[in-house]
């Protein structure tokens, strides 16, 4: 690939460090990366704005380059915080039926659950839609402000490390889908009012997704801490573990491990291992716990609807059947896929990957890696049913005329979603590519 045009190199010296030139134009030596999904050691090519570098072995995107990354991320993060403040301040949703109505704010979708003795579910909702996104956005603003002034602010490295760990647990986009599903479910029973907070939250979701996509991790860490030299004797076109090396999953830097296959990243301080310790055992344990919770999550009612004094408990499958009877086929399919097929499919897929990883054949490694990426991506979308319950419980409160309360399955199903996400994070996809014949410890020596 040809080198970028000379314009970024000749930018004014007084420009912020992060904007002077891409990292690869400021080094005559190669910048090495080890793919975190297949462990292939490679050298990053020169990248222009809008380009990305992918692993030649498994196709995983290692680096995505953006134009003016600091300004872009800061502008999007500030806009996201403003729209989130508006979404929290103004009314979110309202409904009325037979002269009786109710209005709620965004935060009430979590706080109302506490009154129904579901504090863990309430905490999960509050964290995933408000607290963690706010912390993430503040962290982005803090980091980019330091880079734009030419000197990183206090604790920038720790904050940059935290961003990578926060991102998988932010679910504002899933909550928005859950809100739309909730409105469709009650549209035929009551009159719905969309408040200013709802529209502000919709804009916030778009801006939040754009912010997460705009963060150029490679350029960020280069601006924060430079690029230490790669370990001597590193050979590209081979696995990193076979050379006693590993790539940091947080900042991407290639580091040399000690004789025990452990270490600490010299750039960001993240603990390093040749492979995640006890990856298969931890994944199996988490999958077993999720499988146990999956039974009460589908057997017990996830919510109870009271209409004219008559309670009507509904399970997840019962809710799908009810939507089908109402003629809402698209929404029924969304709930069926997100709440039934995805959790069960994730349990089966991860169990199968744990079984085949110790005896994996490299001819099938790419297909298995793609399956892992799919299970990792879709797992969070199962939270849509929990968010539906949170919205309906907070919104539909009209006494015996009409009200909705959470059922015991809500906590169990939330546990299934969280535990399967942890199981996917515990599974090390590099095991799929390892040679099953040669023990891993011998390959490092």
Looking at the fold, whether 380 and 243 belong to one and the same domain comes out as no
151-162 tens-digit pLDDT: 888 999 999 999
Residue 3: the pLDDT is 40
| 3-class state of residue 256 by DSSP | strand
271 located within any domain: no
Decide if 383 contacts 411 (C-beta within 8 A). Answer: no
The CATH number that applies at residue 406 is: 1.20.140
207, pLDDT greater than 80: yes
97-146 tens-digit pLDDT: 776 778 889 999 899 888 888 899 999 999 999 999 999 999 999 999 99
Q: Which parts of 269-317 are beta strand (E)?
A: 271-273, 303-307, 310-314
7-38 tens-digit pLDDT: 333 334 455 555 556 666 665 567 899 999 99
Looking at the fold, whether 244 and 342 belong to one and the same domain comes out as no
Residue 223: the pLDDT is 86
Mean pLDDT of 260-286: 91
Looking at the fold, whether 329 and 256 belong to one and the same domain comes out as no
Which positions ≥6 away from 409 have C-beta within 8 Å?
296, 297, 298, 299, 300, 301, 302, 315, 316
Q: Which parts of 100-204 are beta strand (E)?
A: 100-104, 191-194
246-270 tens-digit pLDDT: 999 999 999 999 888 889 999 988 9
How would residue 442 be classed by pLDDT, with cut points 50, 70 and 90?
A: very low
Q: How much is the mean pLDDT over the chain? A: 85
Which positions ≥6 away from 63 have C-beta within 8 Å?
33, 44, 47, 52, 53, 216, 217, 218, 252
154 located within any domain: no
Q: Domain limits at 315? A: 278-436
Looking at the fold, whether 288 and 431 belong to one and the same domain comes out as yes
Looking at the fold, whether 369 and 416 belong to one and the same domain comes out as yes
Highest averaged pLDDT of the listed ranges 83-92, 98-107, 230-239, 244-253: 83-92
Residue 257: the pLDDT is 92
Looking at the fold, whether 380 and 404 belong to one and the same domain comes out as yes
Looking at the fold, whether 253 and 378 belong to one and the same domain comes out as no
Residue 5: the pLDDT is 39
Looking at the fold, whether 250 and 368 belong to one and the same domain comes out as no
Looking at the fold, whether 366 and 395 belong to one and the same domain comes out as yes
Highest averaged pLDDT of the listed ranges 175-184, 198-207, 294-303, 326-335: 198-207
How would residue 396 be classed by pLDDT, with cut points 50, 70 and 90?
A: confident
50 located within any domain: yes
Of 306, 379, 326, 394, give the one whose Cα is nearest residue 349. 379
230, pLDDT greater than 90: no
Q: Which residues pair with 254 in a beta bridge?
A: 247
Looking at the fold, whether 256 and 401 belong to one and the same domain comes out as no
149 located within any domain: no
Q: What is the DSSP string of 188-236?
A: TTSEEEE-HHHHHHHHHHHHHHHHHHH--HHHHHHHHH--PPPPTT--T
Residue 423: the pLDDT is 95
Mean pLDDT of 223-233: 86
226, pLDDT greater than 60: yes
Cβ burial 1-18 (10 Å sphere, 16+ → b, else e): eeebeeebeeeeeeebbb
95 located within any domain: no
Residue 10: the pLDDT is 39
Residue 48: the pLDDT is 82
> What is the pTM (predicted TM-score) of this model?
0.87
243 located within any domain: yes
Looking at the fold, whether 289 and 396 belong to one and the same domain comes out as yes
Residue 314: the pLDDT is 84
Q: How many domains does the chain have?
A: 2
H helix or E strand, kind and range, residue 52 = strand 52-54
Mean pLDDT of 399-421: 87
Looking at the fold, whether 255 and 310 belong to one and the same domain comes out as no
227 located within any domain: no
226 located within any domain: no
């Amino acid at each position: 690939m040809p080198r970028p045009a000379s314009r970024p190199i000749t930018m004014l010296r007084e420009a912020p460090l992060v904007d002077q030139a891409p990292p690869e134009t400021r080094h005559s030596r190669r910048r090495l990366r080890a793919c975190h999904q297949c462990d292939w050691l490679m050298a990053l090519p020169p990248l222009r704005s809008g380009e990305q570098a992918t692993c030649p072995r498994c196709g995983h995107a290692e680096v995505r380059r953006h134009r003016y990354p600091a300004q872009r991320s800061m502008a999007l993060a500030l806009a996201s915080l403003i729209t989130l403040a508006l979404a929290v301040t103004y009314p979110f949703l309202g409904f009325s039926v037979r002269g009786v109505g109710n209005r709620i704010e965004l935060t009430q979708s979590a706080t109302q659950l506490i009154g129904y003795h579901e504090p863990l579910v309430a905490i999960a909702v509050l964290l995933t839609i408000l607290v963690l996104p706010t912390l993430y956005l503040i962290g982005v603003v803090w980091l980019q402000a330091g880079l734009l002034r030419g000197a990183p602010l206090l604790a920038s490295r720790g904050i940059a490390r935290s961003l990578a760990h926060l991102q998988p647990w932010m679910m504002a986009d899933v909550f928005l889908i859950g809100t739309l599903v909730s409105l469709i479910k009650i549209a035929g029973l009551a009159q719905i009012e969309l408040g200013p907070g709802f529209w502000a939250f919709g804009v916030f979701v778009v801006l939040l997704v754009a912010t997460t996509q705009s963060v150029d991790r490679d350029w960020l860490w280069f601006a924060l801490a430079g690029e230490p030299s790669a370990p001597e004797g590193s050979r590209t076109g081979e696995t990193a573990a076979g050379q006693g090396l590993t790539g940091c999953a947080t900042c991407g830097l290639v580091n040399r491990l000690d004789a025990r296959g452990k270490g600490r990243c010299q750039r960001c301080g993240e603990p390093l291992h040749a492979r995640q310790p006890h990856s298969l055992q931890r994944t199996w344990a988490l999958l077993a716990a999720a499988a146990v919770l999956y039974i009460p999550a589908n057997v017990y009612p996830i919510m109870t609807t009271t209409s004219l004094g008559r309670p009507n408990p509904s399970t997840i499958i019962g809710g799908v059947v009810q939507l089908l009877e109402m003629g809402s086929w698209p929404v029924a399919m969304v709930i069926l896929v997100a709440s039934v097929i995805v959790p069960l499919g994730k349990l089966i897929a991860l169990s199968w990957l744990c079984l085949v990883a110790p005896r994996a054949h490299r001819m099938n490694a790419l297909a298995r890696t793609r399956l892992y990426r799919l299970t990792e991506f879709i797992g969070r979308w199962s939270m849509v049913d929990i968010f539906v319950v949170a919205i309906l419980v907070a919104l539909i409160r009209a006494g015996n005329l009409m009200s909705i309360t959470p059922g015991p399955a809500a906590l169990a199903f939330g546990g299934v979603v969280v535990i399967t996400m942890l199981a996917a994070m515990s599974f090390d996809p590099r095991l799929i590519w390892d040679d099953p014949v040669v023990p891993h410890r011998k390959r490092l020596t």
